[in-house]
Amino acid sequence: MARMYFGTDGIRGRVGVHPITADFVLKLGWAAGKVFSSQAGGRKLIVMGKDTRVSGYMFESALQAGLIAAGVDVALLGPMPTPAIAYLTRTFRAQAGIVISASHNPYYDNGIKFFGGDGFKLPDEVELAIESYMDKPLVTEDSLKLGKAHRVPDAVGRYIEFCKGTLPSGSDFQGLKIVVDCANGATYHTGPSVFRELGAEVVEMAVDPDGFNINEDCGSTRPALLQDAVISEKADMGIAFDGDGDRVMFVDHKGHMVDGDELLFVIAKHRHQRGECSGVAGTLMSNLGMELSLKELGIPFYRANVGDRYVIEAMRERKWQLGGESSGHIICSDLTTTGDGVVAALQVLHAMRDTDTPLNALKKGMQKYPQKMINVRIKQKFNLEDFPAIQQAVVAAESELAERGRVLLRPSGTEPLVRVMVEGEDDQQVATLVKQIAAVVEKEIG
């Protein structure tokens, strides 16, 4: 069965437009409560957190009401990074965790995503079970069976201690000056504290959320101000998170961006040197340069479909402990169950300290291939086989690249977009080809 509402990362869209409406989310809370309570052997508990969007208040209340109506207790965490909810779901032995967030999207979007009691994203069959309840009438449990809600006052401290505990005992970052950009999002009160408590000098950026400024000219998708700040502060590096804290990007001391592929390579190489890297899972979007650099080190590499759930599936199938995406979504499964920007950042810092090597030197082991991507907004679902003109444009580009590059067309799982990506050795050739293909896609289905 095809899922009606769930995409690659929960349910996401514009606030006030179906399905991201108060009435739908109320019903979703009840539906999820019915599914998870049917799986519970004893206590029925779901933990819930959110990022800093203004609509989070509304959806937190709606979900809470639906869950309570289904007879489920709710532990409210308030604004917390997505990976913190995954961690605390396991800590509290809850049936599930719910995150209210649209990640790197603007404030006027929002979404709902779930973790199972094991801290991993839900399998398809559970999402389908939740969707099946959306067609049923909402029936409130008898008052004797209603759930209750309570706030968790020490959630922030619990997560900070967890993050620090992912490093070897005795690790510290004294002497490092770090600019930390929290995207006015969910890491605003956790990220800087972790690095500061580990001894680093921290310069904070974008740590004043007002409900509307999340991801606005800041964070991992808008790093220009961070790059300037690293130079002006004479910092050793900059670290940027996205709105919900599951992605991370770095800026080296020269102000140059270090993306997720390069960070993944740095972590993999360091672990390989210690005999601790059995393989790396990337995605169809992972840079070809990373694949080739890992191959030179003798590290196996596998490309999964785009989306952290598919990366994690590939890792679990192969019993690998490291995977990620170029966006900065990096998973260290020996430490946690999902992409965690703070934990990944700590792994990079640990590699720097352990080898006494600056970041710009560590990343030199990987030569990035030029990669260009254009997002084309579309009005309908996209199937390449239905558009011969687009197929011809792709074949022509692949023929020109020969064996020295790749072409990828991928519908977004969260927005009405087709992502057109071209990768190759020559930057100008790549730029020309991606524009040509994007123009054909725009003409055919834009």
Active site residues: 103
CA-to-CA distance for 12 and 26, rounded, in angstroms?
15
CA-to-CA distance for 340 and 160, rounded, in angstroms?
12
Residues 369, 288 contacting (CB under 8 angstroms): yes
Residues 155, 81 contacting (CB under 8 angstroms): no
Is 216 exposed, middle or buried, given 0-12, 13-18 or 19+ CB atoms closer than 10 A?
A: middle
Of 212, 207, 206, 252, nearest to 357 by C-alpha is 252
Strand-strand pairing, 109-116 and 11-14:
antiparallel
Q: SS3 of 11, please?
A: strand
- List phi, psi (to 5°) of 337: -100, -5
- List phi, psi (to 5°) of 189: -110, 5
CA-to-CA distance for 55 and 113, rounded, in angstroms?
15
Alpha helix (H) residue ranges in 326-426: 341-355, 359-362, 388-401
Map tokens 């649209």 to a residue. Answer: 102
Map tokens 């020559």 to a residue. Answer: 426
Strand order in the sheet with 330-332: 301-304, 280-283, 322-324, 330-332
Residue 15 tokens read as: 């606030």
- 3-state SS of 44-88? CEEEEEECCCCCHHHHHHHHHHHHHHCCCEEEEEEECCHHHHHHH
Q: At what angle do helices 82-91 and 341-355 cross, to 10 degrees?
A: 100
Q: How many residues would you count in the chain?
A: 446
Residues 226, 205 contacting (CB under 8 angstroms): yes
CA-to-CA distance for 11 and 13, rounded, in angstroms?
7
